[in-house]
Amino acid sequence: MIFVNHSVFSQSSTTMQDILETVNTKVTELEEQRNQEIVNMTFDLLVNQGKKTVWRYLDPAFDYDVMVIGDRRISSIKLTVNRKDNATGEWKFVDEFSSDKPLLRLDPAEFEQYEFIVKVDEFKPGSSTGHFALILYHQNPERGQ
């Protein structure tokens, strides 16, 4: 018997292999080439018009970038960012961007909770589900500027 292991994603329409490989490449680029420190990664599945939300406290000592990457089934994805005002407890709109890999810069003024909402704008033809990865990162302080 001969077993062959190679990347063929057609065997399962729900596989996470391609999004994991894409993110692995992006992590290597961010950490090794761009001197960034990843502080949070979230993977999840979006179905039809569904959305997913991630909450995270951000430290004002850092400027953050947040990026969302969709898998091979997603053409365009929307990232919406809100922050919870410490004084009022209300959610305030920060920014929103749609593209194949939306990227936003965040510069928190104080230690506050942020809400990241991910929603598919457009699936590729024949798809109604897709995985995404949300990556939150900043300059790596241990490696200097």
Of residues 129 and 18, the one with the higher pLDDT is: 129
When pLDDT is cut at 50, 70 and 90, the band that residue 142 belongs to is confident
Q: Which fold has domain 37-140?
A: Jelly Rolls (2.60.120)
Tell me the pTM.
0.86
3-state SS class at 18: helix
- The average confidence (pLDDT) of the chain is 89
Burial of 45 by CB count in 10 Å (0-12 exposed, 13-18 middle, 19+ buried)?
middle
pLDDT tens sequence across 74-132: 999 999 999 999 999 999 999 999 999 999 999 999 999 999 999 999 999 999 999 99
